[in-house]
Amino acid sequence: MFNSKFGSIPKFYVRAPGRVNIIGEHIDYCGYSVLPMAVEQDMLIAVEPVKTQTLQLANTNPLYPDFSTSSNNIQIDKTKPLWHNYFLCGFKGIQEHFGLSNLTGMNCLVDGNIPPSSGLSSSSALVCCAGLVTLTVLGMNLSKVELAEICAKSERYIGTEGGGMDQSISFLAEEGTAKLIEFSPLRATDVKLPSGAVFVIANSCVEMNKAATSHFNIRVMECRLAAKLLAKYRGLQWGKVLRLEEVQTKLGVSLEEMLWITEDALHPEPYSPEEVCRCLGISLQELRTQILSPNTQDVPIFKLYQRAKHVYSEAARVLQFKKICEEAPDDTVQLLGELMNQSHASCRDMYECSCPELDQLVDICRKFGAEGSRLTGAGWGGCTVSLVPADKLTSFLANVHQAYYQRSDRNLTFEKQSLFATKPGGGALVFLEA
């Protein structure tokens, strides 16, 4: 296909994997550690550097039209999350990191098998893959940590205020192990998953593109406002505080104590923008222009109490999950499953990032043998991840397939990838011709 598109053959190939987040949802952008693993599904790009300053992109999937632009005038349209914009994010991130305005052009053919809009991070995999393609074409070097940080930052050109989980695991993943990803400074530590149980991904078949709506950014802003109100309540300099983790670190208290402080400082009733302004002593104009992102400026209510409760409790669950994996008591699988179930309940009730289909799917998964089941990724659609004892896997797959997928009203475009067991896969790679 590369040959028929560009009349030449590729000089090298790059792959970057998608991921499944086992536990730790919507807390990376609050500064807290998360526990994902790479999946085997990935983005793969065939590349030929060219002397002209033209970037030509094609996709093996005819749903994604060809795209071409001058490599020294990259424009990323935030209003429409078109596929090639994710490539441009990675490209521009590397270009800016090295302060280069004159980049050589390239011909790229993109191929991928991560179901899009399913919470398995196909978009970040494309950003990371494009970043590594660009670095390779330039003949430059960066560490995986630097690459992950650049790509996390540059994906925000698309307009979403994501954390760094997806890009970090795409670069730092290693086959056979999940990773605890910590931020500031970014690092990844191996987490040995229990033998005797498998993680199964199931797609609810409800598509959710986090760049196409404001759901995601509203949550990021609610956490930001909660952090500021908590900081002010405890007499801290709140002006520069952006993340809930900063409040905990500055106060030097435990996550459990942060949950108590949240109870005291915030109320469960939603906050209007006016009330937020009164609490912080700022004007509506300042709230809109200095704190909120462009697509959240007209949000009528903010649920600060619920979001902070989710974040602090979820951050604690991640640490408990890691500890149980390390200590491996006899009932490891059951304990991990319970934490996953609690995580789902918190996402559903406190963070409100689930949907009826995801709730139904986790119930079905638990009914047919999962010790734990939860939504994974941003939510509002996409996939669930379930922890299933290995000896129950065959019947689990058959029963869940029957109960959830054999209904005519599901959109089964990605049927093959709708329900599958997965193991921790490896990170991004460059394949060069020998």
Rg over alpha carbons for the chain, rounded to the nearest Å, is 22
Active site residue 330: no
Q: Does 38 bind ligand GLA (CB under 6 A)?
A: no
Least Å distance, CB 27 to ligand GLA, is 7
- Identity of the amino acid at 119: G
- Residue 81 is a binding residue for ligand GLA (CB under 6 A): no
Site membership for ligand GLA, residue 377 (CB under 6 A): yes
Catalytic residue among 28, 166, 264, 298: 166
17 lies in the site for ligand GLA, by CB under 6 A: no
Nearest to 105 by CA among 43, 57, 158: 57
- Please give the backbone phi and psi of residue 41, each rounded to the nearest 5 degrees, phi first: -65, 140
Helix (H, G, I), strand (E, B) or coil at 130: helix
Give the nearest distance from C-beta 53 to ligand GLA in angstroms: 31
Q: Catalogue the E-assigned strands of 131-196.
A: 178-182, 187-191
Q: Which of 80, 67, 60 is nearest to 106 (CA)?
A: 67
Binding residue count for ligand GLA, defined by CB under 6 A: 12
Residue nearest to ligand GLA (CB): 162
Each residue 214-253 as x (binds ligand GLA by CB under 6 A) or -, in order, gives ----------------------------------------
Pairing of strands 197-203, 383-389: antiparallel
Q: Which token pair is 83?
A: 């596929």
- What's the token pair of residue 117? 């809009």
- Among residues 149, 166, 245, 246, the one that binds ligand GLA under rule CB under 6 A: 166
Give the dihedral of Cα atoms 424, 143, 94, 100; nearest 10 deg. -170
Q: Which stretch, 18-26, 181-189, 251-259, 276-284, contacts ligand GLA (CB under 6 A)? A: 18-26
- Vertex 337: Cα angle to 24 and 318 (nearest 5): 25
Of positions 115, 116, 163, 427, contacts ligand GLA by CB under 6 A: 163
- Cα–Cα distance, 299 to 302 (Å, whole number): 8
The total number of residues shown for the chain amounts to 434
Q: Establish if 25 lies at the interface with ligand GLA (CB under 6 A).
A: yes
Site stretch for ligand GLA (CB under 6 A), options 19-27, 51-59, 106-114, 271-279: 19-27
Binding to ligand GLA by residue 28, rule CB under 6 A?
yes
Residues near ligand GLA (CB under 6 A) are 21, 25-26, 28-29, 121, 162-163, 165-166, 377-378
